[in-house]
Amino acid sequence: MGYVIRTMGLFLMLTLIFMGIGAIVWFFLFDGSTGSLMMVMAVFIVLAVMINLFSFFFSKKIVLKAHKVKIITRADNPRLYGIVEGIAVSAAMPMPQVGITNNPTPNAFATGRGPKDAAVVATTGLLNLLTDAELRGVMAHELAHVKNRDVLIMTISATIAGAISILARFALFGALMGRRDAGTIIIMMLAYITIPIAALLIQLGISRSREYKADQAGARMINDPLSLASALSRLESGNIAKPMDHENPSSAHMWIANPFGGKKKAGVSLFSTHPPMQERIRRLNEMAGRR
């Protein structure tokens, strides 16, 4: 319940930031009348709805194409397909699509709107590195993301955060083109710098929260926290040794491990898409000790 409340609170903050930019545009770029406020807010509401609808219907297809994922059958890779199928059956979930992307970096991700429209993907590097038990732990983590609809949550939060950055740029451009006074332009420049950073921090906070939740839920699905803990340890080393060269930083949150090999020595970085791996492992070991 704590994860749900925290996520809802962070989404509320994103929404307020989005609406706040609308108020800034109204105040500085329009005449400040009630009519102009209604117009600006209507435009921003429509934009938010369009962004969320686009994310809802097209994110899975875009992600799979961007990472050149091959959707497989049991005949293509009985090991991976069988592991995913076994977890889905035991968790009473619809069978997702199973995909493989040819990438030496050991990693995995899930995409899709929810349990009835999902795909779980492993890199070739992941399949070559992990034992069957560890691979089962990783796939359970990804199926937990699917079951909790984390993929949709993170896609929408990332899209809104991106839209906030674009709209902040639009507001600054409007102030400059409108030849506003120096004080107004300074305020708009500060908003242009600080508001997107605030939106990014909230988005990353949502991402880290959902990773902890997926670790916990995935370990419970297979009743084996230690295999997932072992897999995470090997993934950290593997991603440091073979980081992804061409991955877009904006999609780093979707992987089970930081694809750029970043290693945090202590604490949680505000700008990290993932919680510290050692803390994730510690929590899983603690789960195993409580059984």
Residues catalogued as catalytic:
142
Report yes or no: 140 and 222 within 8 Å, Cβ to Cβ: yes
Report yes or no: 214 and 150 within 8 Å, Cβ to Cβ: yes
Segment (H or E) for 181? none
Report yes or no: 162 and 250 within 8 Å, Cβ to Cβ: yes
Give me the sign of the Cα torsion angle 235, 239, 241, 244. Answer: positive
Segment (H or E) for 100? strand 97-101
DSSP code, position 91: T
Region at 188 (left for phi over 0; alpha for psi -120 to 50; beta for the rest): alpha
DSSP reduced 3-state for 108: strand
Alpha-carbon distance of 148 to 122, in angstroms, equals 19
84: Cα within 13 Å, side-chain hemisphere: 28
DSSP reduced 3-state for 70: strand
Of the candidates 259, 264, 261, the one whose C-alpha atom is nearest the C-alpha of residue 277 is 264
Residue type, 64: L
The crossing angle, in degrees rounded to 10, of helices 132-147 and 225-241 is 100
55: Cα within 13 Å, side-chain hemisphere: 20
Report yes or no: 130 and 106 within 8 Å, Cβ to Cβ: yes
Alpha-carbon distance of 16 to 7, in angstroms, equals 14
